[in-house]
């Protein structure tokens, strides 16, 4: 049976974050020299290495755009979690699409929620996916042949057949 992750990370930088949380405040570090905001907590600025950081109060509101789950085992006593994987625009070349899709199918069968973002690339799976949402994403003519690209997010079915990849 899989253990649950510890409730919080502690140590340099992190302790200050939890102290503010206990007081009902969500704060992140802001560099006093360059203004860069760092998350997770750091001992010096990620951009300029300045060591004077101020815990800046935030509104506590936000929108989840993306998140990650560590591939490398972060805690030795816990299995690698693979809770949710979001991969964007991986199907524009056959070798990349085939290699990633084979790996993602295995992860989905192990119980992970695998989400694929795709703007209609040639090597996107023709079956074994469920469309969840569609967005108009701004791009540039240097990358695409248009300025707005309709892009959808799909869920990879855990029972996708091995041959259901790019055709
Ligand atoms: Zn800085």
Question: Regarding beta strands 113-118 and 84-88, do their DSSP bridges make them parallel or antiparallel, or are they unpaired?
Answer: parallel
d(CA 63, ligand 1 centre) in Å: 25
H or E stretch covering 101: helix 94-109
Q: What is the pLDDT of residues 113-151, one digit of tens each?
A: 899 999 999 999 988 999 999 999 888 887 778 888 899
Domain boundaries, given as residue ranges, for the chain:
14-57, 63-167
Q: How far is the CA of 45 from the centre of ligand 1 (A)?
A: 5
Instruction: Using the mean position of ligand 1's atoms as its centre, give its distance from the Cα of residue 69 in Å.
Output: 27
Residue 167 pLDDT: 47
Burial string for 22-61 (b: 16+ CB within 10 Å, else e) reads: eeeeebbbebeeeeeebeebbeebeeeeeeebebeeeeee
pTM as predicted: 0.52
CA of residue 44 to ligand 1 center, whole Å = 8
Rounded distance from Cα 134 to ligand 1 centre (Å): 37
Say whether pLDDT at 62 is over 60: yes
Each residue of 94-123: pLDDT tens digit? 998 998 898 888 888 878 889 999 999 999
- How far, in Å, from the CA of 53 to the mean position of ligand 1? 8
Give the position of tokens 């701004």.
138
């Amino acid at each position: 049976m899989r253990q649950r992750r510890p409730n919080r990370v502690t140590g340099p930088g992190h302790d200050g974050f939890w102290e503010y949380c206990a007081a009902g405040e969500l704060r992140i570090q802001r560099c006093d020299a360059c203004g860069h905001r760092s998350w997770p907590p750091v001992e010096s600025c990620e951009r300029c290495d300045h060591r004077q950081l101020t815990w800046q109060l935030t509104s506590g509101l936000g929108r989840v755009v993306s998140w990650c789950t560590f591939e490398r085992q972060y805690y030795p006593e816990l299995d690698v979690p693979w809770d949710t994987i979001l991969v964007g625009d991986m199907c524009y070349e056959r070798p990349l699409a085939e290699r990633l899709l084979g790996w993602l199918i295995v992860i989905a069968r192990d119980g992970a929620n695998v989400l694929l973002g795709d703007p209609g690339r040639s090597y996107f799976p023709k079956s074994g996916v469920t469309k969840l949402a569609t967005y108009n994403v701004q791009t540039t003519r240097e990358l695409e042949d248009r300025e707005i690209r309709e892009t959808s997010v799909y869920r990879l079915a855990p029972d996708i057949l091995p041959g259901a990849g790019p055709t």
